[in-house]
């Protein structure tokens, strides 16, 4: 694809990039399914235009939010392209969220349309009626049936793209907060397009690439990093509905790039069929969303000859750093700030800048960084410095060669298999269970997920056991947030200020999942 002029990244949007690829090579594959089905760029443009009409007919106007909680399928992905065409603000939701969790997101974002799984239609319709939200459409798990498919079927296959400004919102992604409510990160077209172009060039994507896509499409990694780079390069994705290590092994010989969370890589390494030969068509393995252990990095290199390229990002910032494509990919490091991104290390207490080598909080600024949290100006103000740097809450340092290293988090956050869990939210749910006096939620090392959630609980009723806790949380919290183990204690350890000593708890239960 033709190079865009250097400042074009700020001017363009993902739909324009898609249209450019489609004009250049309409018959090139966009989505390749395991069963051999191919969706070309032209077909994806036509189907997403029909969906954009269905959105419009359902009452969606430019600037309206479209909330989407459906299983991953080609049609589900096309709803992203449809929202872009309609000028709507895309609001993808983790498929694990319960109705209780959805109530907050939908109430906060007041979408003009909610697209949900067919089997959830009644519950979502009731919730929407309760929240006075106007419109619900459905999609089944393989994306071939549902009221969305019916509504799109007879529609025209072109859509008059609602022109957008670079600063207009393209998407809102909710991220949990250390305290209190989840926050909707507002991402503008320019945030997404500039990052897609920067990464396409940094990682040398071309139209010849085949990206093995096994990530969910409701988060930054699978929806924006993987999909938007593919679009920016005019390349194709081998599109899997979920991660399954056997599928990855089977399809890898057809692929050139894999993007995954560290669990993908540890599961691949644990598979006897994963060999240097199998990876011979691959040019790039990218890891992110959680720390990749130096050990997995080294074992992977020994097995395949490939150095996994680790990068660092966040919902609020898209991608901020990356190890180099050429040059050393350092195990345990997330590489250099991407072109156009400024990154610095500050003292978390004083906010003063720290010299090279010292550990502090990572702050970033650039075209990748979001505009703020939906309807939360105070929260937004708290997380930006006066000079426009966003305070990530991640702790790190920059080494003598300029590589960024992440060493921990200033925020109380657990990352399990690439999903974020804020202990405060789980503690609040535990504390509401009758018979529980108080709780502390920690993350402890877990070979498969990196970290796993553990609830340390002081019961006021000796009859409360783990099964009761599990049952009480089932409808309350998404499965990935629920503690993998609940430990009962007589007292939670507290310091002289009365604060629960989580570091001590993490130490005490560090081997809970050791084999
Ligand atoms: C699944 N389960 C999890 C879990 N994933 N529990 C905790 N943490 C997780 N991440 C639950 C399931 O509900 C199930 O519960 C049980 O664990 C076993 O499931 P599984 O079959 O082993 O899991 P699997 O479906 O294989 O999922 C594991 C995974 C998946 C790693 C493939 O979690 C995944 O796709 N993670 C990617 C997350 C991601 O895309 N993050 C990007 C965020 S964007 P039960 O009770 O039913 O047995 C971001 C910015 C950036 O962070 O920088 O990229
Ligand atoms: P999310 O809020 O889901 O976007 O998660 C973003 C968080 O994931 C960051 O703030 C980091 O804590 C973490 N993260 C992302 N990439 C990496 C990485 N390569 N190494 C360590 N942590 C990472």
Contact 192, 167 (CB under 8 A): no
Query: Which ligand 1 atom is nearest residue 222's CA?
Result: 40
Task: Give the distance (Å) from ligand 1 centre to CA of residue 221.
Answer: 13
List the alpha helices (DSSP H) in 276-390. Answer: 294-304, 377-383
Q: Is the pLDDT of residue 3 over 50?
A: no
Task: Give the distance (Å) from ligand 1 centre to CA of residue 256.
Answer: 24
CA dist., res. 170 & res. 80, Å (int): 10
Q: Is the pLDDT of residue 159 over 70?
A: yes
From residue 359, how far is each of 403, 412, 457, 515 by CA, in Å? Answer: 13, 17, 33, 33
Q: Is the pLDDT of residue 107 over 90?
A: yes
Residue 179 has a pLDDT of 66
CA dist., res. 43 & res. 27, Å (int): 8
Residue 61 beta carbon below 6 angstroms from any ligand 1 atom: no
Residue 155 beta carbon below 6 angstroms from any ligand 2 atom: no
CA dist., res. 413 & res. 347, Å (int): 19
CA dist., res. 281 & res. 253, Å (int): 6
Which of 445, 479, 483, 513 to mutate for ligand 1's pocket (most ligand atoms within 8 Å of CB)? 479
Lookup: tokens for 195: 């990052």
Range of lowest pLDDT (142-156, 167-181, 372-386): 167-181
Q: Is the pLDDT of residue 1 over 50?
A: no
Q: What's the average model confidence in pLDDT over 488-502?
A: 94
Q: Is 366 exposed, middle or buried (0-12, 13-18, 19+ CB in 10 A)?
A: buried
- Minimum-distance ligand to the CA of 176? 2
- The pTM score is 0.96
Residue 180 has a pLDDT of 65
Neighbour-count burial for 278-287, b at 16+ CB within 10 Å, e otherwise: bbeebebbbb
pLDDT 10s digits, 388-424? 999 999 999 999 999 999 999 988 899 999 999 999 9
Residue 313 beta carbon below 6 angstroms from any ligand 2 atom: yes
Residue 219 beta carbon below 6 angstroms from any ligand 1 atom: yes
Question: Which string of DSSP letters, residue by residue, matches 328-352?
Answer: ---TT--BEEPTT-EEEEE-TTT--
Q: Is the pLDDT of residue 229 over 60?
A: yes
Helix (H) or strand (E) run with residue 150 in it: helix 147-153
Domains of the chain by range and CATH?
A: 41-188 (3.40.50.980), 243-409 (3.40.50.12780), 413-508 (3.30.300.30)
Residue 349 has a pLDDT of 87
Q: What is the average pLDDT score of the chain? A: 95
């Amino acid at each position: 694809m033709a190079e865009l002029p250097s400042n074009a990244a700020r001017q363009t949007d993902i739909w324009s990039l898609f249209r450019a690829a489609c004009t250049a090579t309409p018959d090139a594959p966009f989505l390749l399914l395991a069963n051999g089905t191919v969706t070309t760029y032209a077909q994806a443009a036509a189907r997403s235009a029909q969906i954009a009409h269905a959105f419009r007919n359902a009452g969606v106007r430019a600037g309206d939010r479209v909330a989407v909680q459906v299983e991953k399928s080609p049609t589900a992905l096309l709803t992203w392209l449809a929202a872009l065409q309609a000028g709507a603000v895309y609001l993808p939701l983790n498929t694990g969220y319960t109705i209780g969790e959805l109530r907050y997101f939908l109430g906060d974002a007041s979408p003009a349309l909610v697209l949900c799984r067919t089997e959830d239609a009644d519950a979502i319709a009731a919730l929407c009626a309760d929240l006075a939200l106007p419109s619900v459409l459905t999609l089944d798990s393989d994306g071939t049936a549902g009221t969305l498919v019916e509504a799109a079927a007879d529609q025209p296959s072109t859509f008059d793209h609602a022109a957008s400004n670079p600063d207009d919102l393209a998407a809102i992604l909710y991220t949990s907060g250390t305290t209190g409510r989840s926050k909707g990160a507002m991402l503008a077209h320019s945030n997404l397009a500039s990052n897609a172009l920067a990464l396409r060039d940094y990682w040398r994507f071309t139209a010849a690439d085949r990206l093995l896509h096994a990530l969910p499409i409701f988060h930054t990694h699978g929806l924006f990093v993987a999909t938007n780079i593919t679009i920016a390069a005019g390349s194709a994705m081998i599109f899997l509905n979920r991660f399954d290590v056997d599928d990855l092994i089977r399809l890898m010989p057809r692929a050139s790039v894999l993007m995954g969370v560290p669990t993908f890589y540890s599961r691949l390494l644990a598979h006897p069929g994963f060999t240097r030969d199998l990876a011979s068509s691959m040019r790039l393995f990218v890891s992110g969303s959680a720390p990749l252990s130096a050990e997995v990095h080294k074992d992977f290199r020994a097995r395949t000859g490939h150095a996994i390229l680790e990068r660092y990002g966040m919902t609020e910032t898209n991608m901020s750093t990356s190890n180099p494509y050429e040059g050393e990919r350092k195990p345990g490091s997330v590489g250099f700030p991407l072109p156009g991104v400024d990154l610095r290390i500050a003292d978390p207490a004083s906010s003063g800048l720290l010299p090279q080598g010292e550990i502090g909080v990572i702050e970033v600024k650039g075209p990748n960084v979001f505009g703020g949290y939906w309807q939360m100006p105070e929260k937004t103000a708290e997380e930006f410095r006066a000079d426009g740097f966003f305070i990530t809450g991640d702790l790190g340092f920059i080494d003598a060669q300029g590589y960024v290293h992440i060493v921990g988090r200033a925020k109380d956050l657990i990352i399990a298999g690439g999903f974020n869990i804020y202990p405060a939210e789980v503690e609040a749910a535990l504390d509401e269970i009758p018979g529980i006096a108080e709780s502390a939620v920690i993350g402890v090392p877990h070979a498969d997920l990196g970290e796993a959630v553990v609830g340390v609980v002081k019961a006021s009723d000796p009859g409360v056991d783990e099964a009761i806790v599990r049952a009480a949380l089932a409808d309350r919290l998404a499965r990935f947030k629920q503690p993998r183990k609940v430990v009962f204690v007589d007292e939670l350890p507290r310091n002289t200020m009365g604060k629960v000593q989580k570091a001590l708890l993490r130490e005490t239960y560090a081997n809970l999942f050791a084999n």
